Amino acid sequence: MKTLKTSQILASIALGCTVLAAAAPQAAQAAIPVYRYVVKNTYPHDTGAFTEGLFFREGQLYESTGQKGHSSLRKVDLKTGRVLQKKELAPEFFGEGTTAVGANIVNLTWQSNVGFIFDAKTFALKGRFNYKGEGWGLASDANHVYMSDGSADIRILDPKTLEEQRRIHVTADGKPITQLNELELVEGQLFANVWGTDVIARIDPDSGNVVGWIDLTGLLPPDQRGTTNVDAVLNGIAYEPKGRKLYVTGKLWPKLFEIELIQVQRP
C-alpha cells in the first residue's frame, strides 16, 4: 500500500490565529487563499470501500476502490450508499483513480503500469493501456485526461489514445507540491487530495500553480472513522456540475459529505 510521507508533505499556513496543515514543506504562503467548509448534506458510504476515485457521470455517482483482491469499479446510489453495479478487478491489481472519458470509464492501477477501459454502461472491459511509473488519480474534461502519480507532476493524456502529451509541474509559490492523489475538475480548476492530509489543493491546470488550499480538518476526525487503519484518510472528490455540488469522502469512511467552500477572511 502507499506509504505516508508526512514529514515530506505537512507544513503550516499562518492566517492570524489559524494554522492550516498544508501540503508540502514551506509551501504555505499567505498569498494563497485558504477555504474552509460548511457541510450541506451527509450520506452513507461503504466502510469496505478503499476509495481511490470518485466522480459523477450523467448525474450518477461512480467510485473506484483499491487494495489487491478488493479493487473494483462501482456505480453507487448517492443517498443510500448502496452499490448498484460493480466490476471487480483481477486480484493481482491494486485499483486506483478513475474518470469518465466519453462513453468509457478509465481506471488506473497503482504499480502494475496498466490501466483499463470499461464501457460506462455495462462495465465490460473494452481495452487496456500502459504507462510508466505509478498510477494514482484521474480527472477529465472534453479535451484532456489528467493523471497524478504521487509526484508534483500531473500528466496530461490524449483522451482518444490515453498517450501522454505533456506534464504540468504543481507548485505553491515556486515550491513543488508532491503526493497529489485523487483528482477532480471543478469549474476549470483541478482539485487534488494531498495524500495523508486533510488538505485539497486547488490547481490552475494551465500553469500548475496552486491557487487555493481547502482545509477539511475536522470533517471526520480519526476517532469517528470507525477504524484504526492509518490509511483511512481523506480521498475522494466528486463535483456534480448541474447542481454545482461538491462531494468528498475518504478511504473506509462511513460517510460521504456534500460541502460548500467558504474562503477564510484574513485579519
**Tens digits of residue pLDDT in 231-248:** 999 999 999 999 999 999
Q: Which residues contact 175 (CB under 8 A, 6 or more apart)?
A: 24, 25, 26, 27
Number of domain units in the chain: 1
User: Residue 56: helix, strand or coil by DSSP?
Assistant: strand
CATH code of the domain in which 161 resides: 2.120.10.30
Answer yes or no: is 239 within a domain. yes
In a domain, 3, yes or no: no
Tell me if 98 is assigned to some domain: yes
pLDDT, position 241: 93
Tell me whether residue 34 is in a domain. Answer: yes
Check residue 105 and give its pLDDT. Answer: 97
Residue 4 is assigned to a structural domain of this protein: no
What does the pLDDT read at residue 3?
A: 44
- In this prediction, residue 159 carries a pLDDT of 95
Rounded mean pLDDT for each run of 10 residues along the chain, 267 residues in total: 41 34 41 94 96 96 96 97 96 96 96 97 96 96 94 96 96 94 96 96 96 96 92 96 96 97 83
Q: Which domain holds residue 124?
A: 9-263
Q: Which residues are within 8 A (CB) of 189 and not within 5 positions of it... i.e. 6 or more apart?
A: 202, 203, 204, 205, 211, 212
C-alpha 37/C-alpha 192 separation (Å) is 16
Residue 241 lies in a domain: yes
